[in-house]
Structure 1
């Protein structure tokens, strides 16, 4: 952990990363707040003096998570380019080429940066929770519970992102393999660097503890669409739990949690809290104002806090006028080729996700297909969807297909599918076919949103990698990311 703190440790602890400030109170927000400058040089002893300063800390947690090296782009990109859906165009080593080729190792800078930023965010959450213990009564008990819940949500979110990338999937050995150093106390120096890896099961247990406690203390809703899309509430924690339980292969718990925010039958919507539901047009969740009831949690951006050079989703996948098309869609149809979902018959040519969210791009005399969910317009201020209601429906559909009501599973997946392809509802001939169609639907609906590698790995399968030219088996050294060299050098407990 020393590498996280070796530069200006006092400054890190005294000043939260608050270039992203959403509001001055929980119940008020406007576009102007996205452009506010951080309040700098506050003595550490005074950082919990006022409700406004405490809120600055809360906003700083999200700001740390949405760093360009983490949730503003790299997390989603790495998880998609490792598999078969995208083909690299530029051979640019800075934009994930080693990850794409499965040649990244413990020294790969971009992967090291991802680890560092995630643990920095975890430490900020730990420090925030401990500081709150020393400053009771500055805000109401209800608001304190709200803020604590948000810190625990962020910590759980970061640990989930790390554990499925740097540790073997839970389903391979019921979580007995080495997981992550599980840091739950604030680190202000290097004294506690030495910490062994907890097991995968122990990490997942902590994630779920944090999410359960977050759900209990978070508000059911916020006062306006921006806050309910960019700050965690009860349904945000529940939605993430469906993802986590799916990663563990615990389908019964996916159904239990999913039923809290999905009605029994179509049209599906959340029966309590924020009134989540699918949008009639899938494109609407990727355009301004980015605050639909389908957008459960998104990372917002403004001119003062753009994702940063070569981190942006639009830069990687889109072209006009400033994107670079680092990766385009794998449209291979050859029988002996590694195929992407783009050419699968389940994704028809009249599907709105194909007609509205992909486009032709000509490069080197060849026309390829690119993903246009995010613009290619500098400075790339598209809000990044972290959790969408469509994912929750698909999580629940898969769980129902595995251990529950297959008729409901088909209705759930068709709610997502027919939203964009009404003329071609899915029909399943048995359990195996139903599960296959749900998994394909995930590849279509969630394309480019960072789900492909996790979806493969959580089912204990080999990663079919276009960049590596073939399957990466579960025993391969490149199946998971290695613990970065910086952590190895500063944590003798590993």
Structure 2
């Protein structure tokens, strides 16, 4: 049975079900590639199985933003009943959260490998088939990009598993994985459709591919590989998204997250979102944990009034004080209240900081009834247009300095102050900074805009400042937090160089004779 978890045996996990909202909400039974891929409907269902990984509670539908990225300079994990896990930097290769992430990423890769090996024989429109292939290639590359960020070099597997007995695969280098991701995403860019043709936030478009490539290039340009030539590639890809002239910032920052709570797909800002839906009590069971584990703390016991929320992610003093006077994002991203069992709000004292939770996704806006205590229909934004603008500003600054980068940063800042994004304003705009100061401004702005969206840890790592930032957090918490929240310093104090990468899961190490463990583990 242990072999079912090995990356070489994930054909067993090839369960294609209609688990994305671009399909009918009808559950499908387990299928075999030997009798599948006959027509477009079957290919579409198989493709949905690849997409499904993204919205799982173990992935971007929950664990990645809520637990894997819980401990940074912008947030801490505010649960004290058991001080173990990746969020406390008290874990090893047997940790279930580490193992789940590895297993499901390779499950997505295996599904993509199976799809790409069989789609050629499908009887369907040629243009649609090309788009399907591009989507599968992109998703496979995205899963490898996630693996290389968290584990470094990993086994590169591009063919479906043929035997459950072949479990030995050596690691490719991180550079080799990045080269593969780049190649696959470039191919996907020319195959997938424009977002204006798709009109959907959950399906891969050219904008999705280009935005993801910009993120990938920035990561590649930073630590640990420091391939700085990729800053130009990042700039060029982000610029393609901007110059397509089909995306724009939502004028109301709050509305981005309300839309996600209410299943309103708004692709002008939200370039790619998870496909969560329902209350997880239906046949599809594709609810996630967004707004439940990382929402405003609420002890509701009435499933018709407001949903229960644990408040696992809370703000740091640093994040709270990064926002300037008049920046409307702070009091939406960070809670100003809690809710009791009846849904009644209790305001948090103005001087209390560490008991403020992430508040971007608020269960009071959900429309599905009855509400589920532990699952929500809320989508998670994997890539937003605001992120693209900030990536473009960062890359442009590294390539040629801040002169041509200021406007991209200032668009995001203006919207944060409730101002028109395209109109210069002295209140919001930053001008006249040198390259180094502008670099720091970008880093702070990414925290203000993208906090709790699962990108901060990798940002800090690629900038080479994760360890020092965590050390500073420990000092700040000890100096500023009340006795109740002194525990938050424990995670920050425990971070060492080995935590820049996860350990290879113990089950993989025990089965794969060619696997080599990461340093320090």
Pairwise same-fold verdict (TM > 0.5)? yes
1:390 CA drift (Å): 0.7
Q: CA deviation at 1:153?
A: 0.8
Cα displacement (A) at 1:312: 3.5
User: What is the match of residue 428 of structure 2?
Assistant: 424
Change (3 A) 1:48 1:143: same
Give the counterpart of 2:450 among 446, 452, 477.
Answer: 446
Q: Select which of 71, 74, 77 maps to 2:63.
A: 74
What secondary structure is seen at the aligned counterpart in 1 of 2:5? Answer: helix
Q: Which of 278, 297, 308 is the equivalent residue of 1:322?
A: 308
- Alignment check: 8 A CA contact 2:93 2:506 kept: yes
What SS is found at the alignment partner of 1:107?
coil
SS of 1:371's equivalent in the other structure is coil
The one of 239, 245, 249 aligned to 1:259: 239
Match of 1:291 in 2: 266
1:278 aligned residue (235, 238, 249)? 249
Judge conservation of contact 1:146–1:219 (CA < 8 Å) in 2: yes
Matched residue, 2:133: 148
- State the SS of the aligned residue for 1:217: coil
Cα distance in 1 for partners of 2:494, 2:108 equals 33
User: Alignment partner for residue 468 of structure 1, among 464, 482, 491?
Assistant: 491
> Corresponding residue for 1:28?
none
Cα 1:92–1:132, aligned 2, differ >3 Å: closer, same or farther?
A: farther
1:315–1:376 CA contact under 8 A, matched in 2: no
Q: How far 1:489 sits from its partner (Å)?
A: 1.2
| 1:233 matched residue in structure 2 | 205
Q: Does residue 127 in structure 1 map to residue 127 in structure 2?
A: no
Return closer, same or farther for 1:194/1:41 CA change in 2, 3 Å cut-off. closer
Change (3 A) 1:444 1:454: same
The alignment's TM-score, normalised by the length of structure 2, stands at: 0.79
SS, match of residue 154 in structure 2? strand
Q: Which moved more, 1:361-370 or 1:451-460?
A: 361-370
Is residue 2:13 matched to residue 1:62? no
Secondary structure of 1:387's counterpart equals strand
1:492 and 1:234 map into 2 onto residues whose CA distance is 40
Work out whether residues 50 and 136 of structure 2, in 8 Å CA contact, stay in contact via their aligned partners in 1: yes
Three-state SS of the structure 1 residue aligned to 2:190 is helix
What SS does structure 2 have at the residue aligned with 1:230? Answer: coil
Equivalent of residue 385 in structure 2, options 384, 389, 396: 389
| Residues 206/43 of structure 1: CA separation in 2 closer, same or farther (3 Å cut) | closer
More deviation, 365-374/187-196: 365-374
Following superposition, the deviation at residue 38 of structure 1 comes to 2.0
Tell me the secondary structure at the aligned position of residue 296 of structure 1: strand
Does residue 200 (structure 1) correspond to residue 201 (structure 2)? The answer is no
CA contact (8 A) 1:86 1:328 kept: yes
Query: 1:391 & 1:259 partners in 2: Cα distance?
Result: 12
Task: Decide whether aligned partners of structure 1 residues 79 and 451 sit closer, same or farther in structure 2, where only a CA change above 3 A counts.
Answer: farther
Out of 363-372 and 434-443, give the one that drifted further: 363-372
Q: Residue in 1 aligned with 2:303?
A: none
1:223 Cα deviation (Å)?
A: 4.2
For residues 13 and 233 of structure 2, what CA distance do their matches in structure 1 show?
A: 38
Deviations 1:356-379 (A, max 9, x none): 332224699984322211123643
- Structure 1 pair 306/447, CA: closer, same or farther in 2 (3 Å)? farther
Once residues 359 and 191 of structure 1 are traced to their aligned partners in structure 2, the CA distance between those partners, rounded to angstroms, is 51
2:379 is aligned with 1:414: no
Q: Is the counterpart of residue 492 in structure 1 residue 513 in structure 2?
A: yes
Larger mean Cα displacement after TM superposition, 253-262 or 124-133: 253-262
Structure-1-length-normalised TM-score? 0.83
**Residue 482 of structure 1 corresponds to which residue in structure 2?**
503
Contact 2:21/2:277 (<8 A) preserved: no
CA contact (8 A) 1:375 1:382 kept: no
SS in 2 for 1:63: helix
SS in 1 for 2:294: helix
Alignment of 1:327-338 (within 5 A): 327-331=313-317
Q: Distance in 1 between matches of 2:31 and 2:102?
A: 28
Q: Residue 266 of structure 1 corresponds to which residue in structure 2?
A: none
Q: In structure 2, the residue corresponding to 1:406 is in which secondary structure?
A: coil
> Which structure features the higher share of strand residues?
1
CA distance in 2, matches of 1:235, 1:118: 23
8 Å contact from structure 2 (residues 58, 101) kept in 1: yes
Change (3 A) 1:88 1:435: same
Determine the structure 1 residue equivalent to 2:159: 185
How far did 1:389 drift? 0.7
RMSD: 2.6
**1:486 CA drift (Å):** 1.3
Query: Distance in 2 between the 1:356 and 1:206 partners?
Result: 39
The 3 A distance-change label for structure 1 pair 491 and 50 is same
Matched with 2:437 is 433
SS across alignment from 2:211: helix
Deviation at 1:41? 4.8
- Who is 1:343 aligned against? 321
Distance 1:236 1:292, change over 3 A: closer
- Contact 1:284/1:290, CA 8 A, preserved across alignment: no
Report how far residue 292 of structure 1 moved: 3.7
